[in-house]
Amino acid sequence: MLNSIENFTMIQKIGEGSFSEVLKVVNIKTGQIFAAKRLIRQLNLNELRNFIELRVLRKLDHHPNVLGLIDFIYEQEAGILTLLFNLMDKSLFDLIKDRRRRLSETRCKNLLYQMVNGLNFLHNNGIFHRDVKPENILIKVECNNSFVNPTRRELLQIGDLGSAGYTSSPQPYTGYVGTRWYRAPECLLTDGFYGPKMDIWATGCCFYEILTLDPLFPGENDIDQLHKIHDVIGTPSNETLQKFNGLTMDVEFPKKSRIDFYMLVPRLSHHGVDVMKKMLVYHPTSRISARKLLQHAYFDDMKALEARDSIAARITFENINDNDDKRDFIRLKQRAQSEYRQIKKIEMELTKRIEKQLERGWNMPDCDKKKTFVRAMTFAGKNAKKINFT
């Protein structure tokens, strides 16, 4: 704790919840702008030491996809705690709430990839979020000085760890967790017998929502929530229900069949559908983990771009001394950017052709999809191989 509340002045209120308000503040000494999460209820020193969000944030190292704590201020006389964070531009909810046109799958995949990266970091550190929803996923548009693709990039960070739990704590956990629409079956059917896989379920719901701009399971109460889940992924068998520890809900559900996910999100790619299916598995033991999700083929292109940018980031114009080398560097950069634009153009043209066919009511068979995909990626790969970063 390095700051005093007197060092800051409020610019505006940017959010308010049941337990806190979020303010846009400026440090009057440095001029830096922050987001300040100010708790409404008072805390004594013992409560401060045990305050879960502060404990979790102080434990964690920096990760680009988790909103890290800059500092905290505790006003001992008033008992008020204020947490200081970097100011983000908007939440995922803000991004989609007023949109009429859907986001591209590439953009949604980029956001999902960052979400899963952030969750994997939390889970590896023995922490799970327990309240993943669009309002708690924050976005900042930043300049991406990529060697190949210099564009504006959306940085995603998982925020609001006020409901976080430790995987090392014994079950059962707190019964009421998360926002109902994003609550996993184990949170609805049991009295606190859940774990990190509940974050994966909620992330699957968020993925559907940013793709379609509509919530997947907008239940009005817990029973209605389960019915809406069963409408999509089918009624679980008795064997599946018996696997839940601490099953508290004794309700006989009407038998419903699973909806084909290709019908649920018809324009989503094959790998995208597979990712969504794996995230929305009814029982947590069969649900994919964040670590395995990052290994899915759906994210191969994201990982390739990360690796490419990592290599390119080591090459800077300033650390090249010879003028001939500088000219070679500029030519290489221009050629790399030209090749990247060509690959993206091919990708866009292919997408348009498939969308036109879909609009005519023609569904491409899986084998044809695979052949078309292989041809496109082979062509793109040949062009990509021309770019030599070593």
Active site residue ranges? 131
Tokens 């292919």 sit at which residue? Answer: 350
- Per DSSP, what are the bridge partners of residue 24? 12, 35
- Rounded to the nearest angstrom, the gap between the alpha carbon of residue 258 and the centroid of all alpha carbons in its chain is 26
| Alpha-carbon gap, residue 297 to 304, rounded angstroms | 11
Residues 6+ apart with CB under 8 A from 16: 22
37 is in an annotated binding site: yes
| Residues 334-348: b if buried by 16+ CB within 10 A, e if exposed | eebbebbeebeeeee
User: DSSP letters of 256-285?
Assistant: -PPPPHHHHSTTS-HHHHHHHHHHT-SSGG
Residues 6+ apart with CB under 8 A from 322: none
| Alpha-carbon gap, residue 161 to 371, rounded angstroms | 44
**Cβ–Cβ < 8 Å for 151, 341:** no
Tokens of 227: 């019915």
H helix runs in 132-196, sequence order: 185-189
**Cβ–Cβ < 8 Å for 202, 186:** no
| Alpha-carbon gap, residue 286 to 240, rounded angstroms | 10
Tokens of 288: 């994919």
Residues 6+ apart with CB under 8 A from 216: 181, 204, 205, 208, 209, 232
Which class for 354: exposed (0-12), middle (13-18), buried (19 or more C-beta within 10 A)?
A: middle
Phi then psi for 116, rounded to 5 degrees?
-65, -35
Helices 323-359 + 366-384 axis angle, to 10? 170
Binding positions are 37
Binding positions for ATP are 37
